[in-house]
Structure 1
Amino acid sequence: MAGARGGEREDALGFAARFRLAWRFAMREMRGGLSGFYIFLACITLGVGAIAAVNSVASMMSEGIAKEGKAILGGDLRFALIQRPATADEMSYMQGLGEVSETQTLRSMVRLADGSDQSLAEVKVVDGAYPLYGSIETTPDAPLGDLLKKTGDGFGALAAESLYDRLGLKPGDRVKLGNVTLTLTGVIDREPDLLAEGLAFAPRLMIGPEALAASGLVQPGSLIEYAYKVKLPPGVDPDDAARPANDHFGAFGFQVRTAKDASPSLQRNIERFSQFLTLVGLTALIVGGVGVANAVGAYLDSKRQVIATFKSLGASGRFVVAVYLIQIMSLAAIGIALGLLLGIVAPFLTARFLESLIPIAASASVYPGALVVAALFGVLTSLAFALIPLGRTRDVPATALFREAGGTGDARMRWFYLGAAIVLALMISGLAVFMASDKTVALIFLGGTAAAFVILRLVALGIAALARRAPKVRSTPLRLAIGNIHRPGALTPSVVLSLGLGLTLLVTLAIIDFDLRREIGTGLANRAPDFFFLDIQNGEIDPFRTKVAALAPGSDLDAVPMLRGRITKLNGEDVATMKIPAEGGWVLRGDRGITYAPAVPENSRVTEGEWWPKDYSGEPLVSFAAEEGHELGLKIGETLTVNVLGRNITAKIANFREIEWENLGINFVMVFSPNTFAGAPHSWLATLSIKKDGEAAEKAVVNGITNAFPAVTTVRVKEALDAVNALIAQLALAVRVAAAVALVSSVLVLAGALAAGNRGRMHDAVVLKTLGATRITLVQAFATEYLLLGLATGVFAVAAGAAASWFVVDTIMALPWVFDWTVALTTLIVSLVLTVGFGLAGTWRILGQKAAPVLRNL
């Protein structure tokens, strides 16, 4: 009756009055401090901070690319061609748009003057107008024209510091490039348009146009990219100039970009990586949400007397929920504010580090958009996980005032609160998907997280069921431990959920990292050829074969003709106007290596359609990679148009091939019928697997080929794999930090779960001590319980992490999956240390509680 009369009195009050009254009670209770909510604050702070920091740093990088777009691109517009320079008419058109600077890039071998050593280099040829935007920084600081000008018997050149290190050189030394002698006049400290040219696997060497002409490297079919950067007059919109330029040049193989699209590959990678780290941060926040629920539940359990007093004085369940919801969301606001502070300082802390990895000026600032997203995630997560224990608190009876052991955990929760929590969870998922650049990945990630929660709950039920059915044992501590695992109010669900998700993520990422490093460091190195040779001219292929046979007798040499081409149309539709799919879309971006062959190439097999006859002379046909073709939606009999050397060639798809990409042999997405390129100038690509192992044998091949064929580019696969390994190491560092955030969240939730169960443990300890149990017996019982829970959770995390890593490595990456037992044992040890350590640390204090005060309230 008291509750009914109280509800009537509350209804008589207006909403604003009820809210003010609830606010006053909430603030009065919070005067006692934040005891019991430090883990709550840490969980929210860590999750919000991770999301805010990742998105703030990504915004800083994207803003840096946008701000320096002209310098990165090298101009307002960039026209790129492969294997051929612009014609006089094309140059005239570009010069009519504004000031033009031409650069050429190619890979070639730089040799010591005596021919005793050499290194692959990314050669860049610049003219007198370079750079149109930004500035190149060199040591010594001198005009670029003076550093590259003609010398007594050659030309000047600039090199990156790494090229000096590789060949043991210093400024003033001389090297050879093709047929020309170069004097190294300085060091390249910063190159403004480096990012526009994609990933580099070798050090930079910069020369002038006259040096390239004298080198003899420019031959028909040579793999040279010609880039023409245009500086438009003031007031001309680059987009307005790009549209007619695309119409004018699109059919001739040009790739036209504006400063807004200065480094598309880097921008895509930033978006993908920030999305991944944001999702990992969201996982940490969701894991922290479990800690929020535990902390709120423990706090409300400690407030049962206060809640019962409210009820005895006539307060309704809604009023009680409002009081504690105000408290919880006020505390959540503090945690969110601390997390946002981490997000604010993150760009300032990482700016210099990022500049050392990516040559852009990272100007740190505050990014409101990233902070708003993180705050929204924090609010929704806090509210979603707080509603569950609050829903049970609403119906705590006034009689709980007189029963200390009553608890709120057994109270039934109203459907309204459960439904509201589900709606909030859907809002969190919707926001995550909306923010993601790849919706499919976001949905898979969120689906996996939801499935992990369900599976971990089932695992906890399974552990409790096994404990319930375990045979009786004589050991008292062990019997107590097994009973604690399955009794009502046991810690089993909280411990399994809190640790399971974090450890599973850690195991998954650790095994993926191990398999990637193993595959690139040893697996690929063992299967791949030792060398790739590029730019072998048509007239040199037979002498090249003879020279290789003399340098490496019995070795396997595979050589095929190669051209470069860009797909411009699919079934007559311009790819520039098509929506490029995420999977397989890389084939349509930029130029691709292409070849022709009378028979099916090695390392591939026809899966659909038929190969052409050896003497085929009909319309051009093409064989397409099966996986990429199906991802693009292509079918047998459809057509594609490629631009090669300025000519558009349309071919019909005759068949699809399954390709063994993983062996790093000679493979092409597109293989054409031989009649397609009859008479077209081209070079050859070759691979060499030498039978004689050892550094000396490899060096003999490199020296012999480079000195005999200066224009041929030799790529050592080992060096290329080392460059990839270095890149993976940088990415792995960020992934490990993200995994560590998730693990720390799990540890915090574990600590909160154990703290939430201390009240029940105190009652158990007092009753058992009253019945004659010693402190040693209780310590052994609690330690055994935590040990069993930690072991079960660790075993699940290893199994689940192994399954998840297998799916990623084997199915998505198509690489061999190998399980690392070191990761498994480390995970088990970490799980045991955390559960036993935190468990005993939390329960040690309650073992000394006096019995009388506790028994008096039972």
Structure 2
Amino acid sequence: MRLALPRFELALRLALREMRGGLSGFYIFLACIALGTGAIAAVNSVSKAITSAITTQGQTLLAGDVRFELNNREASPDELAYLKSLGQVAVSTGVRSMARLPDGSQQALVEVKAVDGAYPLYGTVTTDPQQPLDTLLAKQDDHYGALAAPVLIERLGLKPGDEILLGNIKLRLHATLATEPDALSEGFGFAPRMMVSREALKASGLIQTGSLVEHSYKIKLDNPVTRAGVIAAANKQFPSAGWSARTSDRASPSLTENVERFSQFLTLVGLTALIVGGVGVANAVRAFLDAKRTTIATFKCLGAPAMVVTLIYLMQILLIGSVGIIFGLALGAAAPFAATAFLKDVLPLPAEATIYPSALVLAALFGLITTFAFAILPLGHAREVPATALFREQSFDQSRLPPWPYLLAGGVALAALAALAIFSAEDHFIASIFLAAVAGAFVLLRLVAAGIAALARRSPRVNSPALRLAIGNIHRPGALTPSVVLSLGLGLALLVTLALIDGNLRRQLSGEIANKAPNFFFVDIQGSEREGFLKTVQQYSPQGVVTQVPMLRGRILAFNGTDVTKMNVPQGGRWVLRGDRGITYDEKVPSNSRVVEGSWWPADYTGEPLVSFSAQEARELGLKIGDTVTVNVLGRNITAKIANFRQIEWQSLSINFVMVFSPNTFRGAPHAWLATLKDPGATAAQEGAILKAVTNAYPTITSVRVKDALDIVGQLVAQLATAIRAAAAIALVASVLVLAGALASGNRARTHDAVILKTLGGTRTMLMRAFSYEYMILGFATAIFALVAGAVSAWYVVARLMRMQATFLPDVAVGTVVGALILTVGIGLAGTWRILGQKAAPVLREL
């Protein structure tokens, strides 16, 4: 121990003394580390800002301390009395319906929110012009007041003071609805918001038996300290209520989960950029040590132990890496401030941005471990080189493996990097798959590089001097082939993967899904309206196919008697348990699905309640035939046995349900009907006529034009694609930096080669042509790998994770690869052109 400490101090002193010369030669190293670290720090800092804002602003986002939600029924007198005993209660009701102009010329789907006089308990409703909410929603003469979102006003060509029809009532638009405090906590809506009073909604006739209505009871607790136990106490008091509840510390769990999952994806992309940058670190370290040959030889000749020499340069590399990490952390720390400026109108963010130490510490760990993992192997090579070889101007031999302690240290560092990525991720499985793919790509790319070199070594002699020189450069000792193939391969494979995922999503939304989907969904059809509704639709679409099914809403409470809130449910199956689900009953197997396990019940079945469950969701929830499912429907708990599993074609967007019950389960239960219209030959004018006829004849029926819904989803996908492209750009920049680093590390050898060849008669143009051939060959081979690896990765994401049909899009994939190669190889050739311009005499004097 006494001997080790002086050695460490000596190494540190020599390392600091040698660094007085500055960071020359390490700028690409710094850029690689700063880029990857900054990406991870920025993504996690913004994610922390959003999730912390959801927690700290929970009362405003929820518009209460706690919220209870009931579907298709209002709270009973006893339930309402209990809720009122907890504190002040504000009641709101949400329903989708059709708003239309008085002359029936235009109509639009709206998300109606009916509120009482206590709303909002927290936060403020912003309107234009700004007036008290009670005044804006009050009834004047025979018109109820209304507020509308700007999109709806633009769509229907409205202005303040205009009349709108909703159901069976007339509304007067008094102002534009700018913001509502609890909009984010209520989830994503496919239609613009319209706000009215609860009295107006009751008069509209939209709330009927079986209507899809959501009643929310927001409570401002008399004693907010008791918030944590309120839900458990309420469920104990009313075990069959069937309400879903959340407190203000979990105001928007869906948004929180989506933010965390998307930030995980971007973090993994940033980690890929950092790993790609790690190749640049290895190149920079190799070039740095190659430039320090004489110094290393001097240390060894003066009796410095190999360990001291290794420590000197390891310390220098870690110190320089720390500088890059600090730059990256500065970018990450600034990200929440930038997000506050650009995203404050879209997502909940703190009123005043701050720094999130945990996000920065995580990014710093990624940066440090990556620096060490990729620097230790070149250091191992340098340790084994004798002083005599160094004085003879020989470079390090990279063909041999470094000593086993260095291999072990590198392996442990990479394992620590993988463990940190997995355990810091929201979904451990996805992170594991991602890292396994990166590791596999590393191995394959090393094999690709070895294969290219072997083919170049065995290639027949060609007549072109430039091509012959290019082939020799690929396989000669110290060739750039491994570094270039590795850096370009990872970057291009990631770019192809992201481009194909984006292309498949757009193709599905605009092509296959749109072609398979029905033209319309019609919701809240009452039993007395079914016949007249059918005649109206067939009048305007005689060739169309109308499908009608009974529709109820129910929330899953338990599997096999176990409360689902106490179960550890896998990520993929959580959506089934989140809120209420549409359910139905049927005597026959529904279309667009088939029984894959178990058997269907007979048409005249009268036994215990049975249910058919979606096969995919059942697997994710761990269910099997014979298990029981307890569902709350209209305030009653119903337990049914799983009779069979169905394979469902969700992509068709036809009427499909996770759960289909035997008809005897809901015999006599009040419900509405759901219908679809599919008419592939219908024109836009015909669809407009159908929408207008149904809305005017049956104002309480909600008509959803599927094309409009797909357009909204397409806009969301486009916004996500922007973020994905930004992440891909980071990977591309990392590849460019690594390529530049690889060229820089080989500059000395290339300069000597170029000078000798020019002395022997070679021209600068011929040499440039030779380097162009070399990069084209490497780029072509790497592009083939990127196309195959990217296609497989995109298929896995689209087909396995998104459960959509995956298709290889050659135009997207090839266009992405060609564009990226032109950029990266162009930058590489620009650097090479500078090398070829150096004078011969100074170089020849060093040989």
Instruction: For 1:716 and 1:122, locate their aligned partners in 2 and report how far apart those are by CA, in whole Å.
Output: 14
The C-alpha deviation readout for 1:617-661, integer Å capped at 9, x for no partner, is 111111111111122111112211111000111111111111111
User: 2:115 matched to which residue of 1?
Assistant: 126
User: 2:408 matched to which residue of 1?
Assistant: 419
Instruction: For 2:626 and 2:307, locate their aligned partners in 1 and report how far apart those are by CA, in whole Å.
Output: 68
1:478, distance to aligned residue in structure 2 (A): 0.7
Percent of matched pairs sharing the same residue: 60
- Mapping of residues 184-583 of structure 1, within 5 Å: 184-234=173-223, 236-358=225-347, 363-409=352-398, 412-583=401-572
Task: Give the secondary-structure state (helix, strand or coil) at the position aligned to 2:509.
Answer: helix
Instruction: For 1:64 and 1:406, locate their aligned partners in 2 and report how far apart those are by CA, in whole Å.
Output: 55
Instruction: For 2:784 and 2:431, locate their aligned partners in 1 and report how far apart those are by CA, in whole Å.
Output: 27
Instruction: For 2:442 and 2:400, locate their aligned partners in 1 and report how far apart those are by CA, in whole Å.
Output: 22
> Does 1:801 pair with 2:799?
no
Match for 1:45: what amino acid?
A
Instruction: For 1:453 and 1:215, locate their aligned partners in 2 and report how far apart those are by CA, in whole Å.
Output: 64
Instruction: For 1:764 and 1:684, locate their aligned partners in 2 and report how far apart those are by CA, in whole Å.
Output: 80
Task: Give the secondary-structure state (helix, strand or coil) at the position aligned to 1:251.
Answer: coil
Match for 2:304: what amino acid?
A
Task: Give the secondary-structure state (helix, strand or coil) at the position aligned to 1:557.
Answer: strand
User: 1:96 matched to which residue of 2?
Assistant: 85
1:170, distance to aligned residue in structure 2 (A): 0.8
Alignment check: 8 A CA contact 2:50 2:347 kept? no
Length, aligned pairs only: 847
Instruction: For 2:405 and 2:570, locate their aligned partners in 1 and report how far apart those are by CA, in whole Å.
Output: 42
User: 2:730 matched to which residue of 1?
Assistant: 741
- Mapping of residues 652-671 of structure 1, within 5 Å: 652-671=641-660
Instruction: For 1:348 and 1:835, locate their aligned partners in 2 and report how far apart those are by CA, in whole Å.
Output: 32
Alignment check: 8 A CA contact 1:108 1:120 kept? yes
- Mapping of residues 106-145 of structure 1, within 5 Å: 106-145=95-134
Instruction: For 1:361 and 1:346, locate their aligned partners in 2 and report how far apart those are by CA, in whole Å.
Output: 13
1:401, distance to aligned residue in structure 2 (A): 4.2
648-657 or 543-552: bigger deviation: 543-552
Alignment check: 8 A CA contact 2:144 2:200 kept? yes
1:411, distance to aligned residue in structure 2 (A): 6.2
The C-alpha deviation readout for 1:730-759, integer Å capped at 9, x for no partner, is 111111111111111111001000111112
The C-alpha deviation readout for 1:299-329, integer Å capped at 9, x for no partner, is 1001101110111111111111111112111
Quickly say closer, same or farther: Cα 1:295–1:182, change in 2 above 3 A.
same
Match for 1:641: what amino acid?
T
Quickly say closer, same or farther: Cα 1:834–1:189, change in 2 above 3 A.
closer
User: 1:7 matched to which residue of 2?
Assistant: none
Match for 1:707: what amino acid?
N
Alignment check: 8 A CA contact 2:36 2:270 kept? yes
1:831, distance to aligned residue in structure 2 (A): 4.6
Alignment check: 8 A CA contact 1:280 1:739 kept? yes
Match for 1:807: what amino acid?
Y
User: 2:705 matched to which residue of 1?
Assistant: 716
1:138, distance to aligned residue in structure 2 (A): 1.1
Task: Give the secondary-structure state (helix, strand or coil) at the position aligned to 1:237.
Answer: helix
1:223, distance to aligned residue in structure 2 (A): 0.5
Q: TM-score, normalised by structure 2?
A: 0.98
Instruction: For 2:506 and 2:401, locate their aligned partners in 1 and report how far apart those are by CA, in whole Å.
Output: 51
1:198, distance to aligned residue in structure 2 (A): 1.1
User: 1:633 matched to which residue of 2?
Assistant: 622
> Does 1:170 pair with 2:154?
no
1:358, distance to aligned residue in structure 2 (A): 2.5
User: 1:6 matched to which residue of 2?
Assistant: none
541-550 or 222-231: bigger deviation: 541-550
Instruction: For 2:590 and 2:653, locate their aligned partners in 1 and report how far apart those are by CA, in whole Å.
Output: 14
1:359, distance to aligned residue in structure 2 (A): 5.3
User: 2:55 matched to which residue of 1?
Assistant: 66
1:770, distance to aligned residue in structure 2 (A): 4.1
Alignment check: 8 A CA contact 1:787 1:835 kept? no
Quickly say closer, same or farther: Cα 1:122–1:223, change in 2 above 3 A.
same
Instruction: For 2:349 and 2:28, locate their aligned partners in 1 and report how far apart those are by CA, in whole Å.
Output: 39
The C-alpha deviation readout for 1:531-553, integer Å capped at 9, x for no partner, is 00000011111111112111221
1:20, distance to aligned residue in structure 2 (A): 3.1
Quickly say closer, same or farther: Cα 1:157–1:835, change in 2 above 3 A.
closer
Alignment check: 8 A CA contact 1:563 1:593 kept? yes
1:242, distance to aligned residue in structure 2 (A): 2.2
1:675, distance to aligned residue in structure 2 (A): 0.9
236-245 or 835-844: bigger deviation: 835-844
Instruction: For 2:292 and 2:165, locate their aligned partners in 1 and report how far apart those are by CA, in whole Å.
Output: 82
> Does 1:586 pair with 2:575?
yes
1:832, distance to aligned residue in structure 2 (A): 3.9
Q: TM-score, normalised by structure 1?
A: 0.96
Instruction: For 1:16 and 1:714, locate their aligned partners in 2 and report how far apart those are by CA, in whole Å.
Output: 78
Quickly say closer, same or farther: Cα 1:321–1:361, change in 2 above 3 A.
closer
User: 1:83 matched to which residue of 2?
Assistant: 72
Quickly say closer, same or farther: Cα 1:810–1:411, change in 2 above 3 A.
closer
Match for 2:105: what amino acid?
S
Instruction: For 1:249 and 1:687, locate their aligned partners in 2 and report how far apart those are by CA, in whole Å.
Output: 37
The C-alpha deviation readout for 1:658-683, integer Å capped at 9, x for no partner, is 11111000001111111111110000
The C-alpha deviation readout for 1:790-846, integer Å capped at 9, x for no partner, is 222122212221222122223332323333333333334335424542333333343
Task: Give the secondary-structure state (helix, strand or coil) at the position aligned to 1:52.
Answer: helix
> Does 1:40 pair with 2:29?
yes
CA RMSD, 1 decimal:
1.6
- Mapping of residues 632-781 of structure 1, within 5 Å: 632-690=621-679, 692-781=681-770
Match for 2:189: what amino acid?
A
Instruction: For 2:449 and 2:232, locate their aligned partners in 1 and report how far apart those are by CA, in whole Å.
Output: 61
Quickly say closer, same or farther: Cα 1:64–1:629, change in 2 above 3 A.
same
Alignment check: 8 A CA contact 2:33 2:324 kept? yes
1:776, distance to aligned residue in structure 2 (A): 2.9
User: 1:605 matched to which residue of 2?
Assistant: 594
Instruction: For 1:831 and 1:128, locate their aligned partners in 2 and report how far apart those are by CA, in whole Å.
Output: 59
Task: Give the secondary-structure state (helix, strand or coil) at the position aligned to 2:523.
Answer: strand
Task: Give the secondary-structure state (helix, strand or coil) at the position aligned to 2:571.
Answer: coil
Match for 2:276: what amino acid?
V
User: 2:776 matched to which residue of 1?
Assistant: 787
Quickly say closer, same or farther: Cα 1:235–1:154, change in 2 above 3 A.
closer
1:783, distance to aligned residue in structure 2 (A): 1.7
Match for 1:446: what amino acid?
L
Instruction: For 1:681 and 1:429, locate their aligned partners in 2 and report how far apart those are by CA, in whole Å.
Output: 55
1:437, distance to aligned residue in structure 2 (A): 1.0
Instruction: For 1:142 and 1:244, locate their aligned partners in 2 and report how far apart those are by CA, in whole Å.
Output: 39
Match for 1:752: what amino acid?
G
Alignment check: 8 A CA contact 2:453 2:481 kept? yes
Instruction: For 1:835 and 1:136, locate their aligned partners in 2 and report how far apart those are by CA, in whole Å.
Output: 51
Counterpart among 813, 816, 831 of residue 802 in structure 2: 813
The C-alpha deviation readout for 1:702-732, integer Å capped at 9, x for no partner, is 1100011010000000111111111111111
